[in-house]
Structure 1
Amino acid sequence: MILPADPFHFPSLVWDWPIAIYLFLLGISAGSVTFAVLLKQKRLGRDAARSGVVKAAAILGPGAVILGLLILIFHLARPWTFWKLMFHYQFDSVMSMGVMLFQIYMAVLLIWLGGVFAPAIAALRARLLGERFGWVDALLARLPHADRFVEPLLLLLAALLGAYTGFLLSALKSYPMLNNPVLPVLFLVSGLSSGVASCILMATTAFKTDAHGEEVHFLHRFETPLVLIEALLLLCFFTGLWFGDGQKVVALTSAIGGGFWAQVFWFGVVGIGLAAPLLLGHLLPGHGRGKLLIISGCSLTGILLLRYFILYAGQMTVA
């Protein structure tokens, strides 16, 4: 096993660090929107517009996708040609299908947000524009009545977006570690976990949501199951490599057997991202905002490091 001298630069590297951030941001969007919709359905109903968690998702959902796409666009060799992907679809290209998914997801998300915040949007329009564009209010008033169709579709699209981040890497067939059927599910679950952590962080800080309130409790109860499922999927991911062909075993030992990225995995992904949230949840006293922020921060750090680890360690070994 020969590990690269520079863990961030080696001959087989194709996709580098901006892609890891891009994948991380898409997971946050998918996760935050998923739990905002579930919170509205299960707890809040028509009062969702007053929720700090829903407000956080309204920023994180579209904002993370837009920021991720901007990072991807400027990372391209010719960023000014990106507009072609927006209108010329190639059904045999994972990237092109991803662009189509983004467009549909963003359209449905904006329709849902328009329905949730219809009164606030109408009041803002009246204050800024007076009587002009009054027809917008009537359109917004109709949107909440479409929730029974919009919300299931949005949940489906959010799940597809979370899984797409894994499909994007698993399409790289020349890399044995990345060409793994568990990867889309692993990225979906870790994306859901990042959505929970991001919503808790933003809701309790920016929108002063009560750390002991029903909304945070609703989100917090998903944290431990998601961490445990993520750990199980990582075990399945590496077990598949262990029982694979020769190059898959080489990829496994190169990734977690030693070197820089093995340390990132064991100390960052497993230690900070998986073990720390579970242990701190039982060891830290109380249930206040500080405890939630520490646990959520550990989860987000571990999930970001997971993206980096999978991306870089997965490209060290070529079939």
Structure 2
Amino acid sequence: MTSAFHFDSLVWDWPIAIYLFLIGISAGLVTLSILLRRYHPQEGTSHSRIMRTTLFIAPSSVMLGLVILIFHLTRPWTFWKLMFHYSFTSVMSMGVMLFQVYMLVLVVWLALIFRDEVAALQQRWLPKLTLIPNLLARLLPFMRPIETLMMVLAVLLGAYTGFLLSALKSYPMLNNPLLPALFLFSGVSSGIAVALLAFVFGPKGEQHSKELHFLHRLETPVVWLEIFLLAAFFIGLWLGDDGKLRALSAALGGGFWAWWFWLGVVGVGLCLPLLLKAVGWGKAQLHILLISGSSLCGVLLLRYFILYAGQMTVA
């Protein structure tokens, strides 16, 4: 049976799109948090709404994405072999290595930021275990280089989701050098949307207003950068060889995935948030909920579009 979601050349299906979406949220949130701490250090503390959102969402979205990926494998019980047997010629193996380093540094970085909360939990539940507070105290002078390393890892993880698809060299649309950059900045866009949603509910305050201002300043430029990268992505296909031209025609020349792109990715994910902000929306709770929800929906639909439409044409 051949349909938009089932065709002969399909290798990776919808769970991979969810996995790419979740990884992008984690990388985007961490990137935002580090930018907040670098440019607004007074706001980037353990009391920050953005930092607390990153504390809960960044690690859990990665773990959920990996669980989805593991159970999507043909033999999920053999996944542990990838955790210890690395191949520098395999994009998947390099990705597993990146995930391990990313999670390790992420836990250390978050523990240093929330060290007072960690110490309080340790005193309450494990009062005799002084190893963790002592270790954090020793690592605290190295906070700046650890944060720089965390930023590099977050950018690499966000771009990796694009490299993973571009490694499918037999698919002209996916074998595109702009794909990692497109996925990186769409991941940052999803991180902004998740962070904004955290402000919809909860108490207001002067610090939170400054954080909201920081997010709103980034929101529109990131969307425009996404639009530029999308345009460059398709122009590259249009100026490419016969395989890329066929891929472009299959993706945007009509049919289910063309409608998916124009109505979902462009309409809901890009134009609607920009339009609502242009007419003065974006500060009330309902406005933030609508704009952020549209942005998140657009990022998810983009992952689906690139994954499925990219596999319709084989070189």
Q: Normalising by structure 1, what TM-score? A: 0.95
Whole-angstrom CA distance in 1 between matches of 2:104 and 2:298:
31
Give the alignment partner of residue 284 of structure 2, picking from 267, 271, 288. Answer: 288
- Structure 1 residue aligned with 2:66, among 66, 69, 72? 69
Whether 1:123 aligns to 2:126 is no
Task: Calculate the aligned-residue CA RMSD, in Å.
Answer: 1.6
Matched, 1:27 2:24: yes
Q: Which residue of 2 aligns with 1:94?
A: 91
**Structure 2 counterpart of 1:235, from 217, 222, 231:** 231
| Alignment partners' CA distance in 1, 2:200 and 2:125 | 29
Which segment drifts farther, 43-52 or 132-141? 43-52
Distance 1:300 1:140 in 2: 35
SS in structure 2 of the partner of residue 158 of structure 1: helix
The count of residues paired between Structure 1 and Structure 2 equals 314
The answer to which of 81-90 and 238-247 deviates more is: 238-247
What's the counterpart of residue 55 of structure 1?
Answer: 52
Q: 1:308 aligns with which of 293, 304, 312?
A: 304
Alignment gaps of 5+ in structure 2: none
Question: Where do 5+ consecutive residues of structure 1 fail to align?
Answer: none
Structure 1 residue 204 displacement after superposition:
3.5
Alignment of 1:199-278 (within 5 A): 199-205=195-201, 207-208=202-203, 213-278=209-274
CA contact (8 A) 2:2 2:8 kept: no
Residue 41 of structure 2 aligns to a residue whose secondary structure is helix
Moved more, 276-285 or 61-70: 276-285
Secondary structure of 1:213's match? helix
Greater mean deviation of Cα atoms: 134-143 or 179-188: 134-143
Query: What percentage of residue pairs aligned between the two structures are identical?
Result: 59
Question: SS of the residue aligned with 1:204?
Answer: coil
Q: Look up the equivalent residue of 2:34 and give its one-letter code.
A: V
CA deviations over 1:88-138 (Å, ceiling 9, x no partner): 000000000000000111111111101000010110111122x31023222
Report if the CA contact (8 A) 2:91-2:164 is conserved: yes
Corresponding residue SS for 1:44: coil
Secondary structure of 2:170's match?
Answer: coil
Residues 188-242 of structure 1 deviation map (CA, whole Å, 9 limit, x = unaligned): 110111111111112433x545597001111121111111011111111111111
> TM-score under structure 2 normalisation?
0.96
